[in-house]
Amino acid sequence: MKISEILKYINGTAEGDIDKEINNVAKIESAKEDEITFISNPLYQKYFLSTKAGAVLVREDFVYKEKPENLTVIKVSDPYLAFLDLIELFSKDEDEYSGISDKSYIGEDCDISENVYIGNFTSIGNRVKIGKGTKIYSNCTIENDVEIGDNCLIYPNVSVYQKCKIGNCVIIHSGVVIGSDGFGFAKQQDSTYKKIPHRGIVVIEDDVEIGSNTTIDRATIGETRICRGVKLDNQIQVAHNVYIGENTVIAAQVGISGSVKIGKRCMIGGQSGFVGHITICDDVIIGASVGVSKSITKPGVYIGYRGKPYYTALKEEAAIKRLPELIEFLKNYKKENKK
């Protein structure tokens, strides 16, 4: 499409040739004359004069003295978000999957809406509801009484256990398991363990994205709930009866124990771990590899082995670095006092 058409799509202003044809998006280091790129991070400004791109997105306050002759500069309020929009625009016709494969299995009394795609060797149980425009790729298992909303993307090798509910515009990547039993066992007098039955469900609200090989366990009773707008990275463990509030984002390899409640708009770093039955309030940022052992009631940044407030953890770390100096001071103090 021409740059003049792109300007209307992203609400930008251009300096340069707006009749130029753009065929794709690309990184600034490798972009070609028929591709568009962006500069959002100042670290990439060094490529501005050397890029071979046909157009570049920059912030409205971006200043330059000179530019490559064939480069059109497009100014927008947020070049990163505008570039994401263009990625979707240029790739929207790539997915040509449609229809229901004759190599799939559809159970009894299912309600499958229009424009649904179901891939090869996918098994759909009885009484399953699938909303319009949803795509379920190959080798998936959707068990009985599951509900899936409109315009969802469920990639290959996903398993959704019975009675779980998935909202609209949900993206679930390969290897995800939704609704497996929680890790619950009661120790008996003979030291063996009796399995605790899990009869609840998992509810995933609208606009959630779940990364590959993440597992979300069903509730013992009631529900495990992932609220609207939550983004989960790869390889996350969400245990039974967990509640994750709206627009919270969680990085890879986080483990959340049973009955934890996490508030809205939280950001949780990779490899963090949560003990069971605690509550995290809204607007909390938790650093990477933090062990959260008790409830957090005040918004803020928490880091360290035991999840302490940011400045408290920094003071303690600074004090630990001074330990050799303090030990030497005490030794000298004792020697002087003996004299």
- From the candidates 173, 198, 240, 277, which is the catalytic residue? 240
For residues 55 and 67, the answer to whether their CB atoms sit within 8 Å is: no
- Looking at residue 236, its amino acid is I
- CA–CA separation, 198 vs 273, rounded Å? 23
Provide CB contacts within 8 A for 329, sequence distance 6+: none
Residue 88's contacts (CB-CB under 8 Å, 6 or more residues apart) are none
Task: Give catalytic status of residue 240 as yes or no.
Answer: yes
The pair of structure tokens assigned to 291 is 């062990």
The answer to whether the CB of 31 falls within 8 A of the CB of 37 is: yes
How is residue 134 written in tokens?
């949803």
- Please check whether residue 288 is in contact with residue 272, taking contact to mean a CB–CB distance below 8 angstroms: yes
Contact (CB, 8 A) for 137 and 156: yes
Residues serving a catalytic function are 240
